[in-house]
Amino acid sequence: MTRTTWLAAAAIPLALLVSLGTGPGDIALGEALGVIGRRLLGDDLGLRGAIVWDLRLPRALLAGLVGAALAAAGALCQGLFRNPMADPGVLGVSSGAALFAVVGLLFGLDRAGMWAIPVVAAVGAAAAMVLLLAAAGRQASLAVLLLAGVALGALCSALITVCQALASHQWDFGLKVVYWLMGSFEGRSWPHLSWAVPPCGLGLALALWLRRDLDALHLGSDAAASLGVDLARLRLLVVVAVGLLVGAATALTGVLAFVGLVAPHVARMSSGPGHRRLVPLAALVGASATILVDAIARSASGVVIPPGVITSLVGAPFFLWLLRRRGLRGLAG
């Protein structure tokens, strides 16, 4: 690990400390740390201790895991399409996961077990990746990717609206879907974190394993094939990894836009384009950034601001800036 990677890793516990000391209840950071120490020793926590251990800590850890998952998925998409503008949200992959999750909720699959909605969302993310690959082609330019992603996202959004219309008599379903689509960690606890670890862990492991092949692909398809990279297998594994990462993240927390775009770009400024360092560094940056975003969302007194709204407020101008910067050189990709 490089010094930059170590610094990014050290930023995560610092972000966790900020998150533990943020929120209603006026619980100081020192008191929050004392609660964790007492819990590890098996002491009784009391009401204020339960707020820290049962509410703030699992929520912050889940935010970090989701941020790492989305950032790694963004790095994979950018590597597969050889385009730094690729992102699960911009390309409609998150919308595909959201659509399948909403359909699952509409048919009551959430009552079938804890894994039902995450599995359905993962299938939706993978299906969106497959459609994107088929529509854009292997040598997709930036313009083609953006147009395909916009079309796919618009289609998924329209179908989500249809689902809401079909269930218009179920006011609780409509309210839950609207709030969920804004992206939020509200009400998330230890069970949600335990559900997220297996798919996100497998997806992150796949992302790390595919780094060498993505570096070879960066040289071009022919060069990668000459180096022994099975391109069809690589595309399949990237689809599976992105499906696991985006599907699990979207199913558990809703849509957090632009995390998969901003975090890899921030990491690339320090690590360069090589995926050996880029993928883990992007995951670390995404984890700490999402934890801090959730802390900011909880710091607004008397106002509920979903973290997904904050990521869009930050990510959308960043995306427009990137688009303008690349537009100066043309949209050839």
The whole-angstrom distance between residue 28's C-alpha and the CA centroid of its chain comes to 29
CA–CA distance from 29 to each of 19, 25, 294, 315 (Å)?
A: 9, 12, 16, 29
Residue among 166, 159, 140 at smallest CA distance from 85: 140
What string of DSSP letters covers 5-57? Answer: HHHHHHHHHHHHHHHHT-STT---HHHHHHHHHHHHTT---HHHHHIIIIIIH
Tokens of 316: 């959308």
Tell the burial category of 222 from Cβ atoms under 10 Å away from its Cβ (0-12, 13-18, 19+).
exposed
Report CA torsion sign: 256, 262, 268, 270.
negative
Amino acid at 43: D
Angstrom distance (rounded) from CA 15 to CA 53: 16
Q: Which of 78-87, 134-143, 249-258, 297-306 has the weakest average pLDDT?
A: 134-143
Between 68 and 86, the higher pLDDT residue: 68
Query: Residue 118: helix, strand or coil by DSSP?
Result: helix
- Residue 277's pLDDT is 92
Q: What is the pLDDT of residues 5-39, one digit of tens each?
A: 888 899 999 999 888 888 776 677 777 777 777 77
Q: Which of 142-151, 185-194, 324-333 has the weakest average pLDDT?
A: 324-333
pLDDT at 159 over 70: yes
Entry field: residues in the chain: 333
What's the rounded mean pLDDT across residues 187-208?
91
- Residue 138's pLDDT is 55
Cβ(125)–Cβ(96) below 8 Å? yes
- Residue 119's pLDDT is 83
What's the rounded mean pLDDT across residues 252-269?
89
Angstrom distance (rounded) from CA 33 to CA 11: 17
Q: Return the exposure string of 288-301: e unless at least 16 CB atoms fall within 10 Å of the residue's CB, then b.
A: bbbbbbbbebbeee
- Residue 330's pLDDT is 43
Residues 6+ apart with CB under 8 A from 50: none
- Residue 331's pLDDT is 44
What's the rounded mean pLDDT across residues 94-110?
86
- Percentage of the chain exceeding pLDDT 90: 24
- Residue 72's pLDDT is 96
Question: Residue 333 — pLDDT band, cuts 50, 70, 90?
Answer: very low
Q: Which of 125-129, 198-202, 286-290 has the weakest average pLDDT?
A: 125-129
